[in-house]
Amino acid sequence: MTIINDLLSAPERENGGRTALDRFDFQTAWGIANVLRLHDNASNYAVAFEFHDDIVELDDADNPNAATFYQVKTLQTGKWTFADILFREAKGKGINKTLKASYVGRMFDNVSRFGHSVSKLVLVSNQPLPELTEEFGERAFSSATKDLVDKFKVTLQKECVNFNDQLHMKYFYFDRCRLDLGSYEDTLTGKMAGFLNRHSAPEAAASAFTIYLANEGRKRSKSLSDVQDFAALKASKFLTSHQMTGWLNRLTHEYTHHPSWETISRQLNFPHAEDVKIEREWRSYLPERMRRWNAATMQFTSEVKRAVEPVLDAAENLASGLSSAVPLVEDLVKGWKPNASDYLVKAIILYEYKK
């Protein structure tokens, strides 16, 4: 349980960048792609976003013994060199001049903090490191030519006095990923369609589910709240296999189980003109509900159902119950859909009640 204690107590290295994660960024996309890979492999994974490193992957979500730390770095064009990843930028001038940590120095910092709990330290990028490999996938830094490996060891030893090449060289990897900086959103959505198909979930939800998971990743990129145990830490910072299974089950249910308007229409027995107007809003609500399938919509639908269910259950008939339920959720509906008509409010009440 050492790594659990370390994760709970070790101070995070930096908070830079978290408040800027207000878009579907490359780093989050890569983290989600990694989650899909792990879920396909039936791993009991837990993947953290912006926690001690860009992405952190535990070997087990319940009883972890080791962690893989990923730094995700992008280049618009060009390639990486060993000199790039070992470079230390100067900060300040004169007697105040200091050197910032290199990429690999920041990677090694996780060894300093987590010791033998480290499984791998991986630098991920959209561009290759030809001195090591131009192929996609992971490659150990130790597989480079002897001259480059020796340069790596000597330079890192100067930066990190605790670096021991016999003990620590084995941890370092480079991963050229298959996400392109200009099209990673489309690529991830395509990966998601295949993922949903493999797990018997509706492929039509690929775009909505991609955005949903990206939002979940971004939520976990925010600064850590004060937590006292591993369960709270997982809820705050990690995506897990258990969560993914629950989301997939709910997604499948949302896309495959729909109330019948024809049945509801017969129960209401409204005049034709009113029936038509509610049905029209009902038909428009369903695709919008699917398109906006995210945490906010999930909360909205749950709140509507929770508010109207007791009233409709106790009503003498569906029509009278509907009239009583409208004032309870009218503001809630208009918060989700500004300028919603009274007929849309009724359609949403009926749909969520019968769902």
Q: Taking Cα atoms as reference points, which of 231, 184, 176, 175 lies closest to residue 210? A: 184
Residues 6+ apart with CB under 8 A from 244: 35, 39
pLDDT recorded at residue 225: 65
Contact 113, 52 (CB under 8 A): yes
Give domain status of residue 255, yes or no: no
pLDDT in tens, the chain (355 residues): 478 777 776 666 554 333 333 346 899 999 999 999 999 999 999 999 988 889 999 999 999 999 999 999 999 999 999 999 999 999 888 777 889 999 999 999 999 999 999 999 999 999 999 999 999 999 999 999 999 999 999 999 999 999 999 999 999 999 999 999 999 999 999 999 999 999 999 888 898 899 889 988 888 887 666 777 888 888 888 999 999 999 999 889 888 888 999 999 999 999 999 999 999 999 999 989 988 877 788 889 999 999 999 999 999 999 999 999 999 999 999 999 999 999 999 999 999 999 8
Residue 145 in tokens:
């030519």
Residues 210 and 74 in one domain: yes
Residues 234 and 293 in one domain: no
d(CA 231, CA 261): 42
Give domain status of residue 256, yes or no: no
Pairing verdict, β 67-73 and 55-58: antiparallel
Q: What is the pTM of this model?
A: 0.81
Q: Which residues pair with 140 in a beta bridge?
A: 173
Give domain status of residue 311, yes or no: yes
Residues 168 and 317 in one domain: no
Pairing verdict, β 67-73 and 118-125: parallel
Residues 245 and 319 in one domain: no
**Residue ending a domain, choose from 207, 226, 250:** 250
In the chain, how many domains are there?
2
Pairing verdict, β 118-125 and 172-176: parallel
Residues 243 and 268 in one domain: no
Residues 36 and 175 in one domain: yes
Residues spanned by the domain of 104:
2-250
The alpha-carbon radius of gyration of the chain (Å, integer) is: 26
Residues 82 and 155 in one domain: yes
How many C-beta atoms lie closer than 10 Å to residue 226's C-beta? 6
Residues 216 and 341 in one domain: no
pLDDT recorded at residue 255: 84
Give domain status of residue 17, yes or no: yes
d(CA 156, CA 82): 11
Residue that the structure tokens 């003498």 belong to: 316
Helix ranges (DSSP H) in the chain = 2-9, 26-40, 82-86, 103-114, 146-159, 165-168, 184-198, 206-219, 230-237, 241-256, 261-268, 272-291, 295-314, 318-336, 342-354
Residues 37 and 10 in one domain: yes
**Residue ending a domain, choose from 204, 221, 250:** 250
